[in-house]
Structure 1
Amino acid sequence: MLDIDILEDHAKAVANVASDAAMRYFRGRLGIEFKPDESPVTQADKQVEAEVRAYLKLHFPDHGVFGEEEGKDMGDGRHMWVIDPIDGTRSFLSGHPLFGFLLAHLSEGRAELGVVGMPALDETFVGVVGKGATLNDLPIHVSDQTRLDQAILFVNEGDKIYRDHPDVFSRLMQAGQTRRFAYDCYPHALLAAGHVDAVVDYDLQPYDFLALSPLIEAAGGVMTDWDGNALTLESDGAVVSAATPALHAALLDVLHTGQPG
């Protein structure tokens, strides 16, 4: 049985490795390629993941690793690290500072630890399920907002939601007191810290959301797929995060029944 405190210490060290690697490239000259889905990948993405994998291989040689750039190594089948080296490559390559680094540790398939690093902001969010969440080692907690009509709501990947689910998009535009549009991981981190009340996100991969789920849960919030199911490696990538169960339930109603709170 691995000591979760040891895992947390290593996860923080990995976040520092990733931050240092990313900032060597940020707002510099980038070599950019495009994947088959037309999403960009830079030299920085590859370098960050390579350095993180090297750290994990050194300290946890038996663990599996699943990264966006280099794919999946199952390892012992019980422990897995999930990496998004630069969450928000389009932000990164355009000089926008709201890109992140994501790291999750899964034990027997369950995400028990999540890290969101924001290199350009010098912020590191860490959540350990059952222990709590921190920002730069100071405790954080979600808000106590229960009413959707009074909530600060972020809609991530709004253009994709509009393209694929225009009815859902229309309902979201009537939900919440304050609505903001965004991409990438930062709104979920802000939710964990109590600044944002809810986030609806879409078209994510496991390395995009598996670090967010334990962070938000550890901070006292709720994060599931659009059907209210717990997030796993097999989830479809449509997710919803909320500060409270009541607010989460209200958002699920919006997504499925069209009754904004």
Structure 2
Amino acid sequence: MRDIPAFLQSADDIVAFANHLADLAGEAIRPYFRQPLDVESKADASPVTVADRAAEAVMRKAIEAEFPDHGIFGEEYGHARPDAPWQWILDPIDGTKSFVTGLPIFGTLVALTYEFHPVLGIIDQPVTRDRWIGAEGRPTQHNGRPARTSAVTDLAGAAVMTTYVDAFTDSEQAAFTRLRKSCRINRMSGDCIAYAMVASGFAEIALDGRMQPYDYAALVPVVSGAGGIISDWEGRPLDTSGRARVVAAANPALHRAAIEILAGA
């Protein structure tokens, strides 16, 4: 474990504040769920709604008031103080396509990083009120109870999840096809909830192609604190210095097997 300041290790206050941010986002999002909405397209063709923007805005306002020296990186409003060692990384609605089509498989992602290293993460589903929280040195909790990954160690018995295959390059698509054909079950349209399912033992592997830090920073403490392994496709630890292809597995044996297949072994 890196030398994380006692600020995180000794106090529950930061965990409580992160929970408060997720509460605020949920309050902003729920009134818009399954309601008529204008859906805009951003420069990268991904959708955005008033709910995305409202949820991020209310979280940023709370951070500015409580930790004005911390940095913020959010999907909708970009960077504030990008050189600060502590950074809050926010994705107000991870899975906007699911949100606008009325599917409750999206989530709010809240992460805190120290020098690019994710030390705290929340995956919150504001409609079902499911919340996973992981913090370095602490076990992951799902709605206040310990979350544990699956004991399955053989790919033939594993369930693999991804968000959508259209996001893969041709070579990534071929790698994913090899992996899914080695597994018992495969499911699509997971977004962050796929990684929560790995943390809670309902799926064994989740993976996606190039993701932004706001897509994956919160996943790292949640999966790790539940006993899983999460890395890039080459098996390297994740930091938030840039985009990454992400794979999470329930245990080291499955992680090694997935990495080998993704590499073409």
Q: TM tier, shorter chain?
A: over 0.9
1:157 pairs, out of 138, 143, 164, with 164
1:2 aligns with 2:7: yes
1:78: Cα distance to partner? Answer: 1.2
2:155 pairs, out of 138, 148, 153, with 148
1:166: Cα distance to partner? Answer: 3.6
Q: Distance in 2 between matches of 1:139 and 1:211?
A: 17
Aligned to 1:21: 28
Report Cα offsets for 1:20-60 as digits up to 9, x if no partner.
11002111122221111111111111100000001111111
Q: Please identify runs of 4+ aligned residues in structure 1 that moved more than 4 A.
A: none
Structure 1 unmatched runs, 5+: none
Aligned CA distance change for structure 1 residues 166 and 85 (closer, same or farther; 3 Å): closer
1:247: Cα distance to partner? Answer: 0.5
Report Cα offsets for 1:140-180 as digits up to 9, x if no partner.
11112211111111133222226453421331231211222
1:174 pairs, out of 177, 181, 193, with 181
Q: Distance in 2 between matches of 1:98 and 1:111?
A: 23
After TM superposition, the structure 1 = structure 2 runs for residues 15-54 of structure 1, keeping only pairs within 5 Å, are 15-54=22-61
Aligned CA distance change for structure 1 residues 242 and 107 (closer, same or farther; 3 Å): same
Q: Which range moves more in the overlay, 94-103 or 161-170?
A: 161-170
Secondary structure, aligned partner of 1:165: helix
Q: Distance in 1 between matches of 2:162 and 2:93?
A: 20
- Give me the TM-score of the superposition, normalised by structure 1: 0.94
2:223 pairs, out of 189, 193, 216, with 216
Secondary structure, aligned partner of 2:48: strand
Aligned to 2:128: 121
1:62: Cα distance to partner? Answer: 0.9
Report Cα offsets for 1:189-211 as digits up to 9, x if no partner.
01111111111211311100000
Report Cα offsets for 1:53-73 as digits up to 9, x if no partner.
011111111110000011011
Secondary structure, aligned partner of 2:156: helix
- Give me the TM-score of the superposition, normalised by structure 2: 0.93
1:238 pairs, out of 240, 245, 260, with 245
Contact kept? 1:198, 1:241, Cα under 8 Å = yes
Aligned to 2:3: none
Secondary structure, aligned partner of 1:168: helix
Contact kept? 2:175, 2:264, Cα under 8 Å = no
Report Cα offsets for 1:65-99 as digits up to 9, x if no partner.
00001101126611110000100111111111111
1:78 pairs, out of 72, 85, 108, with 85
Q: Distance in 2 between matches of 1:226 and 1:13?
A: 33
Report Cα offsets for 1:210-235 as digits up to 9, x if no partner.
00011101111100000111111234
- The one-letter code matched in structure 2 to 1:82 is I
- The one-letter code matched in structure 1 to 2:74 is G
Give the superposed CA RMSD. Answer: 1.5
Secondary structure, aligned partner of 2:162: strand
1:95 aligns with 2:102: yes
